[in-house]
Amino acid sequence: MVFYNYSVSTMLEGILEDTMKGNLLKICLCFMAILFLIPIISVPMIGQNQPQTKQKQQLTRDRDPIQEAIKRKAEIDKIFETQTKGILDYKKFTYKSSEGQMDIPAYLFAPLEKRGARAHPLLIWVHGGVHGNLGNVYLPFIKEACDRGYVVICPEYRGSTGYGEEHMEAIDYGGFEVEDCISAVNSIERRDMSYIDPNRKAMIGWSHGGLITLHGIIRRPDLFKCGVAIVPVTNLVFRLAYKGPRYHSQYTKQRRIGGNTWENREAYIARSPVYQIDDLKIPVLVHLADNDRDVNFVEAEMLVNALRVKKPDLAETKIYHNPRGGHSFNRQVNRETWERDDTPKPLDSWNRIWTFLEWHLRPYEWNKEN
């Protein structure tokens, strides 16, 4: 490679000199020499890169994505443990889903000092991702929830990553996963969580978790006082057509959906919150970003429009114009300190969320005699 660079450089200098002298014959000979040298020198260069490329390809093949996800989940849990030590009551536990008695891992975050029996409202906190899990980006907001008097349970519903292949492949988007999250409510009765008030509960979720939240409060208004859905997935029929075949395949392979949108329309409609708004009976808050490139605004605004037309007395909606972060605009976190990294728009979003939850759950109220 050095020889090639040196030779061409020398020849080009010669060409320039000969051009100035008007020596056309030398110029032609030099160009012919360059054309002859390039393929000769390029072949060994390509050959030198081949072993390294093959080695990288082998390393990629050797990686087990399931084991990698388990490893990453362990790292996330270590950060949770370190960041909550001496600050929050933090536990990880497992409960049974009402659908199939499947084991659902979950996190519990609670204030260190409990006020007494039934003194704390409960938030079922639902992560996003087609295949995702509770990441550390939620930590500063969970801390703030606990500071405000809430207990937070975060289900790692079927389809979540970090718990092995069987758990991940059990994904049922908009189906049994909703029951997995609702079943977290029952877990408080089977464990020593008497400090939670069973009459003051809400669901809160982002993206895919926002879809689960909407389905949860629509299906079980008897269990929850309200719900909060941030940048929620809204319309699977539209979404899959908009995103294209590669994204579409993540749904068609799911056991209980079984097929493309045009083959099983009713299943996709039933799993799309925008088509269920007529059944909404309790208050909901929805925040969107108009620069969202995941749940694109052209999809998400369908939900806000439906809520404003059909349920104006129950829905509080807000659309943020071009916020930093787009889809994750109100989950901006400093990944070194794990503290919030706010700008005015996410700060406004969270102020509205806390106000909405306080109005419906009254976390500052409890029987001090208990």
**pLDDT for 43-96, tens place per residue?**
444 344 445 555 545 544 557 999 999 999 999 999 999 999 999 999 999 999
Q: pLDDT category, 14, cuts 50, 70, 90?
A: low
Q: Do the bridges between strand 284-289 and strand 315-320 make them parallel or antiparallel, or are there none, so unpaired?
A: parallel
And the tokens for 357? 């939850």
Q: What is the pLDDT of residue 257?
A: 85
User: Distance between CA 224 and CA 19 in Å, rounded?
Assistant: 85
Which CATH fold topology does 67-235+272-361 show? Rossmann fold (3.40.50)
Structural tokens at position 325: 């972060």
Alpha-carbon dihedral angle through residues 357, 360, 365, 366, given to the nearest 10 degrees = -110
> Is 67:75 a contact under the CB 8 Å cutoff?
no
* Distance separating alpha carbons of residues 235 and 272, to the nearest angstrom: 5
Per-residue pLDDT for 370 more than 80?
A: no
- Residues 186 and 109: beta-carbon distance below 8 Å: no
Question: What is the C-alpha to C-alpha distance for residues 216 and 76, in angstroms, rounded to an integer?
Answer: 26
Region 244-260: mean pLDDT is: 82
Per-domain boundaries in the chain:
2-62, 67-235+272-361
Q: Is the pLDDT of residue 16 over 50?
A: no
Q: How many CB atoms lie within 10 A of CB 61?
A: 8
Instruction: Please determine, for residue 32, whether its predicted confidence score (pLDDT) is greater than 90.
Output: no
User: What number is the average pLDDT over the span 107-114?
Assistant: 96
pLDDT in tens, 290-349: 999 999 999 999 999 999 999 999 999 999 999 999 999 999 999 999 999 999 999 999
Nearest-angstrom CA–CA distance, 135 and 291: 23
List the beta bridge partners of residue 103: 96
Residue 53: predicted pLDDT: 56
Q: How confident is the model at residue 113 (pLDDT cuts 50, 70, 90)?
A: very high
Q: Has residue 22 got a pLDDT over 70?
A: no
Contact 232, 295 (CB under 8 A): yes
pLDDT tens digits, residue range 207-234?
Answer: 999 999 999 999 999 999 999 999 999 9
Chain CA centroid to CA 338, Å: 17
Q: Which of 172-181, 186-195, 356-365 has the lowest mean pLDDT?
A: 186-195
Examine the pLDDT at 353 and tell me if it is beyond 60: yes
Q: Residue ranges of the alpha helices (H) in the chain? A: 2-21, 24-62, 65-84, 139-147, 165-169, 176-182, 184-190, 208-219, 236-243, 245-252, 265-270, 297-310, 344-361
pLDDT at 55 (0 to 100): 53
Does residue 199 carry a pLDDT above 80?
yes
- In this structure, the number of other CB atoms found within 10 A of the CB of residue 312 comes to 10
Lowest average pLDDT, out of 38-47, 64-73, 182-191, goes to 38-47
14-23, 211-220, 253-262, 318-327: range with lowest mean pLDDT: 14-23
CB atoms closer than 10 angstroms to residue 318: 14
The residue among 243, 250, 301 whose CA lies nearest residue 129 is 250
Q: What percent of the chain has pLDDT over 90?
A: 72
Confidence of residue 352 (pLDDT cuts 50, 70, 90): very high
Rg of the chain taking only CA atoms, in angstroms: 28
pLDDT tens digits for range 114-154: 999 999 999 999 999 989 999 999 999 999 999 999 999 99
CA angle 268–229–260, rounded 5-degree value: 15
Comparing CA positions, the residue from 247, 90, 98, 76 lying closest to residue 175 is 98
Q: What is the pLDDT of residue 61?
A: 53
Mean confidence (pLDDT) of the chain: 86
Tell me the pLDDT band of 249, cut-offs 50, 70 and 90.
confident
What pLDDT was estimated at residue 183?
A: 96
DSSP 260: -
CA atoms within 13 A on the CB side of 281: 9
Q: How confident is the model at residue 27 (pLDDT cuts 50, 70, 90)?
A: very low
Res 6: pLDDT:
41
In 3D, which of 245, 232, 305, 312 has the Cα closest to residue 272?
Answer: 232
